[in-house]
Structures are given as C-alpha cells and as structure tokens.
Structure 1
C-alpha cells in the first residue's frame, strides 16, 4: 500500500517533518527497504515478531514499516515502562528480536541484566543519527549496531511476499496502558489498521492537502495509527515530535503550517493548551479520547 502512495505522491515530496529533519516519501521508502532486507538477511520470516522500544522519530516509522514488507509484525512498547511492566511486554509476544533506542539503553539494560528475556537478537539504534540521507547511504557516523547494520544492506525493494488474501494478518501490536494490571498486547490486523485510518480521514474530513501535526507518541494508537496512517495510506505530510510539548505546540503548528492536529484526552489537554496563546489557523483540531 505504501509503495502505491509513494508513486502517487512522488518520492520527492515531503512525508515527515521532525525537528530539523525533512523526510521525503522516497527516503522513507528506501529506509524501510533497508530494514526489510536486513531482517530477511537475519532470518526473519512471515509471522515472526519484532519489538520496538524507542522514542518517536522518522526511523521508528521506517522500522515497523520495513518489517511489514517481509511479513514481520512489530510490537510497539510504551517508552514510559520499566521493571516488571517492561519485562512483561517483552515476554508476552515471544518476539525474536528487539530494537532499542539509544536514549532508552539504560532502562532496557536494567531489565535485560536480571531477566531471561529469551531474545535472539538485540539492536541499539541511534535516533539522532538516523537521518534522511542515511536512507540511500552505505556508511554511518553512528557506532550503534542497528545503524551500522542498515548501512551495509541495499535500499532496493525486498523480494515481494507471496500475496495472500488475509486482511486479518497481524500488522502491529499496541499495548494497553496497564491501569488494570500488566499491559496487554492488542492485535492490530491489516484490516483494523486500514479501518482506523479510513475512519479518521472521513469522519473528520481530512484532505490530502492538509499538513497534520501529530505530537502523540507513536506507540499510541491515535498517534501511530490514525496520525501516521494518513501519511502512509493517503500521502498527507505529517509533523512528529520525540515528546509532546505544550510550550511548542502552537509555534510548531505555525512553523510547519499545520492545518490538522491529533490530540487525545481532549479535555485535559485542551485546558493545558489554553495556558498558551491560541492561533486560529486550524481548519480542524481533532481531539481523540
């Protein structure tokens, strides 16, 4: 589906704004191809599971998108978890490997040292050095294992998987908040992902010309599915942040000329944002609860 979006929108058009980075559709596609080729090289196959434990950034999207190209589902772990909750999230899916953000290295090493996580492969990814130009590059300035590995594989499209008419194939796993016990992995199938994205688009009248501000964490269904999905399926340009910032919310929207924003827990967030100057350039301000 994303390959069709790239062709429709054009590989040179902007897919993601992130801080000072600008990722085009072509660069995101090339990066995800590298991920797919590397996972295939490591022996990952259709039905396997990869875990992702890192802060929001374009590489986050590229990793799980690349995994889907070789039939691998990705578990998106809440970055606020630690100790027992984190161990539970890692063990519950019986994943073969995990990609850990360098900013969360200490948190992961603490649980990995004292628990048998049964992971075949563990990679460390440098989020700050996962730049758009690395999508086509064969070198990297990072010493992190994931960055080095991706630099050594081609960015060409992986061998296509045999087509199967199974919309209930697992795409990603989104964990519950764990307010009533330990976090549980909610299955997001291809069908469910598509329905959530399509539903959000037509419920709120999102146009392809809209630039979407998505400050939500990408492990959350609102940010990682409803927000990112508009870019993957419909070609909207999105703006993401590593962490939500109320003080930067409105200035970011002005800077990137956003016309739509995704928010959740709308009442509390709206009151919070009222502490800052409100601009009136929005066509829609979407509050999802």
Structure 2
C-alpha cells in the first residue's frame, strides 16, 4: 500500500513530468486520433464510408431533435431528410447521377445544406462557388467544375446575368434558382417579365417525392470519391477546385468532434461562408458525427453575433481570426460580454495578440486552434485553456508525432521561393526558432497522408508536390506557408510565402488580382502583394503600378550630371558631362486613371480582393531571372510614407482610391481609420 507521502511524491513527479513533456496535452490529440482511426477502418471494412451516411445516422438516432437553426426557424433532422429527398429526386429528374458535378452559387441558408445533402445521397458532387466572385473569375470557376447544371440564390443573379453569355458558352444548359418562385415573382423587377425574358428557370423541387434512397445504394462509395469541390486561391492564377473526398472529410470531422468533445447536447454557431471548407465541412459536418445542433447565420455580423449566441444558447462558436478581432474591437459591455453558455471556440487564424484578450473579455474558457488547407495532407491542432500555448497553431508532442508524422518546416529562399537544399540535394529542416516553409508528407499509400489535388487540373496539382525531399522516393506537398516551432513542441504561423495572402478571412491570389487589374487602360505593368496593417489580421492587398508613357510629361527642370571634383588638385570648375530630362505625372491623366482603376476594381474583384493601397512607380519593376516580380522590398516598404517617395493611394469606404499621405498614415497607425 502506498503511503500518503509516497502518493504525494508520485503526484509531484507526475506533475513535473507533465510540465516538461505536456503529456496530458498530447493525449488530448492522440486518444481521439487513435479512436478515429479504428472507427474509420470499420467504416471502410463495412463499405459505409459515404459522408451522407453520417447524416443518416443522426436521422435514425434523433429524427425529431433540432439539427439546424436559421433566422429563428428550427429544422429537425427529419425536416432536412425529407427536404433533401425531394431535391434529390429533382436532381435525378434532370439527369444528375453518381459523380456528376452541380455548381452551387449560393449564400448561407438551409437550402445550401439541403442541396448539398441531396447531391450526396445520390453520389453526385457539389461545386461550391464563392458567392463573392464575378466576371472572368466566376467564369473560370464554373468552367473548372465541368458541369451543365447551375443552381443559385436569386439575390446573386446580378453576377450571373452580367456573364450569362459566357456561362452558356462553357456548357451550362440548366440554370435554376432555388429561391421560391412566389418570392421571386413578387419582386417589381421580375413580376412583369415574360418567362422567355429570364435567363433562368425555377427549381420547383417541393413537388417531388419525399421517398428516401436506400443506404445500400451508397455501398460503392470509396474514400477517394468527392464530397464537394471547394475553391482555393493558390499561389498562382485563378481559383483551383480542391477535391474534398469522403475519406479525408470523415476523418477530419471525427477528429474535430473527438478533440472538442462535441455531443448531441451542444449547439454550434456557424457564421462562416458555407462555400469554404471551414464553414461547410467542419461547421456543418461535425454535427453529422456528433448529433449537435448548428445555429447557422446568413453572414457574420458584429452587432448580431453575441445576440444570436445568447438567444440560441450556443455552447460552441466557430471562428476565423478576423472575426475575433472585430468582436474585440466592439465597445465593451460589462453586463453582457460574459453572459452566454459558450464553453469552447474552434477555428483558425486567431492572432496571438487577440487570443487572450478575447478569452478574458468574453469569458470563453477553451480555444481549439487549427492549421490546415483544403488540399492539405495533414493538419496542426492546439487545444488550450490558458497562457500555455496561446497563439500557437499546433502542438506536436511525442505521442502526436508517433501517430501523425510527416510535417516538416524546411528552409526556403524568400526571394525566389525555392527550397534550399543541402549538398546532397535534400531539403534542410529548420531547427527550433527558425522560420521556414511547412511541407507535409503526401503518401498515396496512407489514408491520412493522401494528396488528392485539384479537380481537372493535373499540372497545378503536380506543381504542389516535391519528390526526394529527404530520401529517395519520398513525396511532400508544399503549403506555401511559413511557420516556426519552439523547443517545447508548439508550432506558430509566421507568414504566407509566395503569391497568396489572407485578408478579411479570405485567401487572395496576387496573380489573379494582377491579371484582373492589368486590363485597366494605362497600366504598363503591375504587381500585387500583401502588406501588414497595424491592428489588422492578415495582410491588406497593395498594387505597385507602372503607367504607360502617355501619363508622363517632361519636367521644366533638367537634371545635370557633373564629373567628380578633385579638390586635392584644386580643380573646382569641372563642367557638366551629361544632362537628363526629368518626367512628371500628368495630373489630369492620373486622376482619370485612378477613377477608372476604382471602377474596374469594384466591378471585377470581390470586396476582400480589392487592393487597399496603390503605389504609382516612377521606374520599371524589378524582376527575377525567371521573370517574376521582386516583391521583398516592396513588401518591406509597404505604405510607409517615410520609405516610399512615390505617389500612394488608398481605398476608402466610399469605394474609390484617394491620395494617401502622412496624415492618413498617422490616422491608420492610430487606429482612427478603417480599411
């Protein structure tokens, strides 16, 4: 029998050991991970891998419990099942079958969830189209989906109508709105139109059969079959459609549910856009595993956030870092700030300087921060309730590393974006405290490390991979993100490498923005990059523009270049040896250009992708040996008026560019101006 003294000694030793190794933290990830692997293998063995079956499980367990709450209306699991049955029959009547794609251009609503479920149950694939894109980017996304059917919310018709000819030309034969017909026809701009005047039809799915589809019809679904196509702004070009498959999605939501200990008693608040994997796969999908209720918001609102959370007795909130910053910056309300039932918040991108402020002000005990990508082969997790690990995107103790290997931080040249190799041609892993690019093992033989890539874009998929990274025959995926780790096994996000940055919770492709702005008359060349802004998450877009010669005129002053003076020889009368004609901008032409740029940006770019700053360059942009613009110095100088002697403009809330000078610079740093 162990004495009291001995027990205390063992306890002290255990606490000391845990403090050194953080074994208890490791177990929070390792145990759910192991449990998920065993459960997942049983699903594979039983041909039960379809993600829709997880929803079906909840319908059988709790048909009349609340599954979804939206704008004060509650929907039971049975409600969603019957509605999605009807819509599935409508899709089948239009010839949609297994592996066919359907483009969904929709906002957050129960109809988004119903449409997705309908397609899942008939083994078809939803392509979630970002509802903020327009013009060429929208056409590209629709073309990539390789579908003939487009369903949309009526409120988004403007973007479709503008590009309708192009949409027809790329093969879309069926364009229907899910918005109820009576609601559309009640509008002044529609009720007078004849049917042939509309570019769309109505999806009158409510009249279809409510009969379900047998579970046996999905036994042929395999782990690599797509759950959805979700578009991501990669390092180059237009958006790419990442294939979210049944295997990876089921594993992800199961791990999330296990680590957060989500049960049927929980209510999760999801105000993130459902066209992203965070809002849909995690926010909605976790409820299909746990049986919890989802309180869905049409969009994020600082004024409505806590009101919804309190009113619907929410216990879990989903976030992105930008969302938390907005909430922290709202006026404090000591009487209401901590009046809620939230026990945990989960998401990604929570900045270290906001992390503890948010927890302390709003009284949210636990944060589950994660790092992943739609196309990633692995993920990082950090679950913390105090100071220890606040700000880290992941914790990787020995237990986690044993079950989830294959994440490395390696040295990279920030100018060329090339990985730095050793004398044998292998990547060099960074030590603790060193910042480098995160790469993740891409092993097709292992379920947890499979790289699926981008739909219908094999070259772009291959470009994400590197072979022989550490040994001959291995393969890793480049994330394009810079991270560092500490000696105590915490991993921190440092920055985004390459041509993508994050702003307003969205990934912005600099190549996409530069290509769009390059069509503005007057631009000879331009390059886009992200710059840090005091008090803001992510990076704001900035574009450096070189104008055509027509926008310049000769200055009356002339630059005189003289020969060096040799005072030792007493020669102080050296004559000028050359002159150079100075140029200055034509103010009227520049003003007209900025007006055109403002109009083009507002019409052709999503709000989050519009560059917040413009720099008018007086010389050509520097390029690398591979003809890429050098952005390192441009990023360092940003919009600092002490470092930039060229014209600067910034985007105002009025939707146009105006001159940016010292006064505006000081206001921005003082937090008196908003972007």
TM-score normalised to the size of structure 2?
0.39
Aligned counterpart, 2:264: 208
Alpha-carbon distance in structure 2 between the residues aligned to 1:39 and 1:28:
16
- The match for 1:45 is 97
Match for residue 373 of structure 2? none
Deviation at 1:105, TM superposition (A): 0.7
Partners in 1 of 2:112 and 2:250 — Cα distance? 19
Residues 146-191 of structure 1: CA deviation (Å, up to 9, x unaligned): 442x022111113652521511111101100356421100000101
Q: Is the 1:36–1:158 contact (alpha carbons within 8 Å) kept by the matching residues of 2?
A: no
Count of equivalent residues: 273
In structure 2, the gaps of 5 or more residues are 1-52, 186-200, 350-675
User: Pairwise mapping of residues 10-25 of structure 1 onto structure 2 (< 5 A)?
Assistant: 11-25=63-77
Unaligned 5+ segments in structure 1 are: 130-139
Q: Which residue of 2 aligns with 1:83?
A: 135
**Alpha-carbon shift at residue 193 of structure 1 (Å):** 1.2
Which residue of structure 1 aligns with residue 86 of structure 2? 34
Deviation at 1:120, TM superposition (A): 2.4
Taking the aligned partners of 2:184 and 2:339, their CA distance within structure 1 comes to 45
Question: Structure 2 matches for 1:99-138, cutoff 5 A?
Answer: 99-115=151-167, 116-126=169-179, 129=180
Matched, 1:255 2:331: no
Is residue 2:338 matched to residue 1:279? yes
Matches of 1:259 and 1:208 in 2, distance apart?
A: 11
More strand by share: 2
User: Over alpha carbons, which structure has the higher Rg?
Assistant: 2
Check conservation: 1:250, 1:279, Cα contact below 8 A.
no
| Aligned with 2:115 (options 53, 57, 63) | 63
Q: Per the alignment, do residues 165 and 269 of structure 1 end up closer, same or farther by CA in structure 2, a change over 3 Å counting?
A: closer
Deviations 1:109-138 (A, max 9, x none): 111134523112111121xx5xxxxxxxxx
Specify the SS of the correspondent of 1:88.
helix
Q: Equivalent residue for 2:27? A: none
Contact persistence 2:119–2:125 (CA under 8 A) = yes
**TM-score of the two chains, using structure 1 as the length reference:** 0.89
> Which structure shows the bigger proportion of residues in helix conformation?
1
Q: Which aligned pairs between 1:128-207 and structure 2 lie closer than 5 A?
A: 129=180, 141-142=182-183, 145-148=201-204, 150-158=205-213, 161=217, 163-164=219-220, 166-177=222-233, 180-207=236-263
SS at match of 1:157: coil
- C-alpha distance in 2 between matches for 1:271 and 1:70: 41
1:167·1:189 contact (CA, 8 Å) conserved in 2?
A: yes
Match of 1:269 among 299, 314, 323: 323
CA contact (8 A) 2:87 2:206 kept: no
Whole-angstrom CA distance in 2 between matches of 1:88 and 1:250: 38
Note if 1:288 corresponds to 2:348.
Answer: yes
